[in-house]
Amino acid sequence: MKKQTLTILGATGTIGVNTLDVVARHPERFEVFALTGATQVDKLFQQCLQFRPRYAVMTGAQAAAALGEKLRSAGSATEVLAGSAALIEVSTAPEVSTLMAAIVGAAGLPATIAAARAGKRILLANKETLVVSGQLFMDAVHENGAELFPIDSEHSAIHQSLPAGFNGDLDAAGVKILWLTASGGPFRTWSRKQMENVTPEQAVAHPNWVMGRKISVDSASMMNKGLEVIEARWLFNAQADRIRVLVHPQSIIHSMVEYRDGSVMAQLGTPDMRTPIAYALGFPERIDAGVSGLELMGSQLQFEAPDMQRFPCLQLAFDALKAGGYAPAVLNAANEVAVDAFLNRRCGFADIPRAIAHALALLPASSPDGLDDLLEADRRARDQAGEFLAAKATV
């Protein structure tokens, strides 16, 4: 068996840690070429000692220098690099067969697109790649023979529920609707008034999943589901009117595909990100993920429609998808700024959709002409959202 050689972008985050957990269970299948991180020097140091990658990359030079010193003192042969160019280098190296793209935010976008252009097998956990540059990225995948596997549990569930060999033609496959399930987050039953006073600690306490702080807030606001709607449009070549969201608090059914004959195919499982990671790593085989079995005896499955009034971020995402052009990139950038401000107590939870709506109202009149245009729109939207929140804070 020829080993897959992996680069893991965002190795110290939740997805990266879970990926390494699966990899460690199958040393005969996988070897690690490079691991990357942003600020967690000690954590990446320990990962390097265990998995012995050829390269480690830190986003900043200071963190890279600290990691390099620790590794040299430990006698490690891992070479430490720094910066965005290094992320691209370790994502496109000829030795790399598979890229786990798990950096949160737009920072992971250039390296992931570069990997697609290099024809790599891409395990996509970075939402921003498709939200910001969906058409550009999918063109790169198709034109260069790259393989793409979604890591979000919802998109993985749809991938598993579509016919084998699905080629992007929903009509030919008999597909009517793609159903994305949502837990509803910690505030599913809260009123709009209650949500005005939400704290960061409450927002990151997800009832079902263990996730990073930013994605936990996105789940609480349902922006996470909105971003997944935009991703689904590109992953499965589905227009907005064929993508639906269904709140399912138990997070047992991860998503469903409804066919025109009335059949509904669903993927069920214990809420554990190692399942979609193992599915993508092992495809077309099924490999052990270390996940406990699903216990359905005595379980009750509950479903309800999402409330767009209490969770306006979801409606904003549908609106951005339908608007196209710069709108999804602006939506994502403004959300990142607003979530960061909320986590650092510079704005309220309800200010997140307000900042996003403000940035979307200032959309450029022209259409994007490539990645540089989209990244410039990302920068402007961040400024606009930041200025809006700063002005509110002074009132």
pLDDT in tens, 186-241: 999 999 999 989 999 999 887 766 667 888 899 999 999 999 999 999 999 999 99
Domain C-terminal end among 110, 128, 150: 150
Domain count, the chain: 3
Phi, psi of 187 (to 5 degrees): -115, 25
Domain shared by 66 and 130, yes or no? yes
How far does the chain reach from its first CA to its final CA, in angstroms? 64
Q: Give pLDDT tens digits for 369-383.
A: 888 899 899 999 999
Note whether 146 and 161 are same-domain residues: no
What is the pTM (predicted TM-score) of this model?
0.92
Distance CA 236, CA 257 (A): 11
Judge if 170 and 33 occupy the same domain: no
Is the residue at 28 inside a domain?
yes
| Residue range of the domain that includes 334 | 324-395
Same domain, 98 and 210: no
Residue 279, domain member (yes or no): no
Answer yes or no: do 37 and 52 share one domain. yes
Do 335 and 303 reside in the same domain of the chain? no
**pLDDT band, residue 294 (cuts 50/70/90):** very high
Looking at the structure, do residues 169 and 225 belong to the same domain, yes or no?
yes
Query: Residue 266 has what pLDDT?
Result: 97
If phi over 0 gives left and psi between -120 and 50 gives alpha, with beta otherwise, what is residue 370?
A: left
Question: Of 127, 150, 173, which one is at a domain's C-terminal end?
Answer: 150
Stretch 114-141: mean pLDDT: 94
| More confident site: 394 or 252 | 252
Contacts for 85 with CB less than 8 Å, ≥ 6 apart = none
If asked whether residues 167 and 253 sit together in one domain, one would say yes
Number of neighbours of residue 45 by Cβ within 10 angstroms:
24
- Asked if residue 284 is part of any domain, the answer here is no
Whether residues 294 and 362 share a domain: the answer is no
Helix or strand holding residue 57 (H, E): strand 55-58
